[in-house]
Amino acid sequence: MTREYLPELDYYFNKYWEDRGEITVYDVPKPEVENIDNLSTDSIFAMMFNVAYSHYYYNYRFVEQELSIFSRPIKDRLRSSGTTTKYYLSDSTAGTNILLLTEENISLLNKLLTYRSTNTVDLTDIEYTDLEGRLSKLIYQYLNFMTQDEYQTLNVSDLISESGNLLENLFELFVINEAHKKMKNSSIIVSGSTIILRPQRDLQEIDEDIVLSKQWETLETPYSTAEFYVFLNGNLLTDSQYNLIDTTNLTVLIDWNSTGLSVVEDDVMIADYYTEV
């Protein structure tokens, strides 16, 4: 028996679940994950599971690797499995489509990349009932409720992923968890009135001026800083790594003058928050 090991999938799903996982899930064991220094930040798995993905492209082709390149915990885990394993990492210059992605899959993945880059996407050219691939349907569901507040295609009582396909299973968990987060935060009751909220994502490419000032301003007014998240090059920052300063424009400044956070030119920062409709 031969199996394929994709450490980037392990890493990016586990990183997502540690940062944003909310729903209760049983029988999903957490594996050992490879050190990020050995992994690409622009693989298809990073784009799918990192809500703050900051590249304008992604790699979905993979090259087989020798076991010797991995860290000791990963080597021990794989050697104890009792099966023949082939090891793969994504590669931008070579590689094969070992995930067997179809043209339909890639079309939907490209739309997901557009959403990651711009916080919006056009789905009018796609008819959900015409989609054939399970992964394609999951991506459509996610984009549809994130951009259109449309949940009709999302049916958590009838899972659409195939139990033998790990990528589809994990992405379905991602979709359900993100739907839960959005529905939970989409409206609140204040003094008997319902306030409708929408998610906002600001992407800021760091230039020389921001490096010097160590701060930048959000585009919208955050409804609450309790659900305010800042990412640097795709990594979620802790509250102690930045400060939020109110402005006269009702926006906020993300400031790291006194925190010791290292931010350099060409870095990418993303702010995720909710704003009132």
Q: Which residue has the higher pLDDT, 116 or 92?
A: 116
Element (H, E) at 244: strand 243-246
Strand bridging mode 268-276 / 62-65: unpaired
Mean per-residue pLDDT over the chain, rounded: 86
pLDDT of residue 55 exceeding 70: yes
Residues 6+ apart with CB under 8 A from 76: none
List pLDDT tens digits, range 74-86.
777 666 666 677 8
Choice among 124-133, 157-166, 214-223, 233-242 with the minimum mean pLDDT: 157-166
184 phi and psi, to 5 degrees? -65, -35
List pLDDT tens digits, range 188-209.
555 667 788 888 889 999 999 9
Q: Are 43 and 99 in contact (CB under 8 A)?
A: no
List pLDDT tens digits, range 18-40.
888 776 665 555 555 666 666 78
State residue 7's pLDDT score. 87
Q: What is the mean pLDDT of residues 106-113?
A: 98
pLDDT of residue 143 exceeding 90: yes
pLDDT of residue 276 exceeding 80: yes
Q: How far apart are CA 101 and CA 89, in angstroms?
A: 16
Q: What is the mean pLDDT of residues 99-117?
A: 96
Q: What is the mean pLDDT of residues 86-108?
A: 92
State residue 194's pLDDT score. 77
Query: Considering the entire predicted model, what is its pTM?
Result: 0.81
Question: Domains of the chain, with CATH numbers?
Answer: 1-99 (no CATH), 115-185 (no CATH), 189-276 (2.60.40.740)
List pLDDT tens digits, range 150-181.
777 766 555 666 667 889 989 999 998 898 88
Q: Are 244 and 215 in contact (CB under 8 A)?
A: no
List pLDDT tens digits, range 128-138.
999 999 999 99
pLDDT of residue 45 exceeding 90: yes
